[in-house]
């Protein structure tokens, strides 16, 4: 059985993952609106991945005999000045999520909940990947500057993500 503290914290994480999905879907819509379908596709894939993360937490709470309580998902930003601004926000957001996951690990250890600690280790590793990916794209966009040709090439590269 899952403790009430862990259940509450994971329910909050479910909401955070749903917000992440919503944010990335909003970013996808922004990229579509400025004719960057590759960037948009990358964000759609990211939105789907975040929804999958929410479902992993959802299923875990149910498996442990807890109760999932879904809350309203906060509205996200929907307008940015340029692609670099979007990916800077992605990187910052992923750092925030890493902090949330670390907080869950700390709580699981405080509660001596080894099953939850073990479950969370997948997310710890995933966040290393998420941050590295976002940072890499930020750095590439910084290197290419405002060049339309480079942006076109980057759009093509990001569009290959499935």
Architecture label for domain 4-158:
Up-down Bundle (1.20)
> What would the 3-class secondary structure string for 47-86 be?
HHHHHHHHHHHHHHHHHCCCCCCCCCCCCCCCCCCCHHHH
Structure-token pair, residue 67? 């109760």
Low-confidence stretches of the chain (pLDDT < 70) are: none
pTM above 0.85, yes or no: yes
- Which of 96, 125, 94 lies closest to 24 in space, CA to CA? 94
Rg (CA), the chain: 17
Tell me, what's the pLDDT at 99? Answer: 98
Q: Would you kindly state where each structural domain of the chain is located, as residue ranges? A: 4-158
Tell me, what's the pLDDT at 14? Answer: 98
Contact 40, 32 (CB under 8 A): yes
Contact 61, 7 (CB under 8 A): yes
Give the integer Cα–Cα distance in Å for 102 and 124: 7
- State how far the alpha carbon of 152 is from the alpha carbons of 43, 75, 113, 159, in Å: 16, 30, 48, 11
Tell me, what's the pLDDT at 148? Answer: 82
Would you call 81 helix, strand, or coil by DSSP?
Answer: coil
Structure-token pair, residue 107? 């709580």
Give the integer Cα–Cα distance in Å for 29 and 39: 10
Q: What is the pLDDT of residues 67-103, one digit of tens each?
A: 999 999 988 888 899 999 999 999 999 999 999 999 9
């Amino acid at each position: 059985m899952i403790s009430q503290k862990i259940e509450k914290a994971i329910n909050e994480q479910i909401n955070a993952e749903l917000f992440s999905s919503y944010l990335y879907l909003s970013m996808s819509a922004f990229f579509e609106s400025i004719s960057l379908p590759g960037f948009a596709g990358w964000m759609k894939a990211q939105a789907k991945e975040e929804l999958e993360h929410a479902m992993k937490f959802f299923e875990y709470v149910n498996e442990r005999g807890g109760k999932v309580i879904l809350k309203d998902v906060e509205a996200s930003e929907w307008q940015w000045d340029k692609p670099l601004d979007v990916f800077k926000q992605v990187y910052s957001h992923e750092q925030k999520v890493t902090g949330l996951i670390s907080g869950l690990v700390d709580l699981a250890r405080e509660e001596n909940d080894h099953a939850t600690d073990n479950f969370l280790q997948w997310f710890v590793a995933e966040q290393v990947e998420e941050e590295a990916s976002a940072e890499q794209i930020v750095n590439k966009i910084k290197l290419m500057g405002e060049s339309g040709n480079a942006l076109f090439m980057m759009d093509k590269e990001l569009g290959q993500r499935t």
